[in-house]
Chains A and B, each alone.
Chain A
Amino acid sequence: GIQVEQSPPDLILQEGANSTLRCNFSDSVNNLQWFHQNPWGQLINLFYIPSGTKQNGRLSATTVATERYSLLYISSSQTTDSGVYFCAVERGDYKLSFGAGTTVTVRA
């Protein structure tokens, strides 16, 4: 199956800092989604972004499908941004494959 690698595995930020999370995938995909899992386990969809760039408030994402990677940008981080960020991809077989995640800790 398709392999999804996320980096870095862990990230510690001071409140107000900016950061970039990366997702590499091993094959062409037609579906890529970013999620945030809060400390209570709830998964929230951030972006549906098989290609191109999208922005939502302090978060933005870019997917370069031809080079098989996606980036998630967090600007002016806040303590509520803490949690695990997952990238998930699919090749059109209705099987969404998740990476291992990046654990983000934002300190006040």
Chain B
Amino acid sequence: DAGVTQSPTHLIKTRGQHVTLRCSPISGHKSVSWYQQVLGQGPQFIFQYYEKEERGRGNFPDRFSARQFPNYSSELNVNALLLGDSALYLCASSFGAGDFTDTQYFGPGTRLTVL
């Protein structure tokens, strides 16, 4: 079975632009989470979606938004890009049922560079 897939692999944008990152979960998984990993640091939680509803949001500005589609794939959108948004963006999927985050399966990430 295919793992979590993310696209694109790499992306270069300039300040002020908008970006959309995409994630396809493992078949059968209904939850998708997004994380930002700055070089040299641990991943920082951005969002978690389950059955198309947001059920967790980290400490990120409103420039960051996401959604989950009926096929459980997800998009992360970032508006008005800043230099500090340069990072590896990771998507993770899981079955999602339960009162807390279950085992996370990560995709390879999208490397975003903002110039």
Contact = CB atoms under 8 A, between A and B. Distances in A.
B42 A96 contact: no
Contacts of B101: 31, 90, 94, 96
A45 B95 CA distance: 14
Interface string A1-43: 1001000000000000000000000000011010100000111
User: What is the size category of the interface that chain A forms with chain B?
Assistant: 20 to 34
A31 B100 contact: yes
B100 A44 contact: no
A51 interface: no
Contacts, number: 65
A99 B42 contact: yes
A96 B45 contact: yes
Nearest to A30: B100
B99 A33 contact: no
Contact of A86 (B42, B48, B103): B42
B90 interface: yes
Contact of B99 (A44, A92, A98, A100): A92
Contacts of B57: 95
A17 B64 CA distance: 44
27 contacts: A4-B42, A30-B99, A30-B100, A31-B100, A31-B101, A33-B103, A33-B104, A35-B106, A41-B108, A42-B109, A43-B43, A45-B104, A45-B105, A48-B103, A86-B43, A90-B100, A91-B100, A94-B48, A94-B55, A94-B100, A94-B101, A95-B45, A95-B48, A96-B45, A96-B104, A98-B45, A100-B42
Interface of B: 33, 35, 41-45, 48, 55-59, 88, 90, 92, 99-106, 108-109
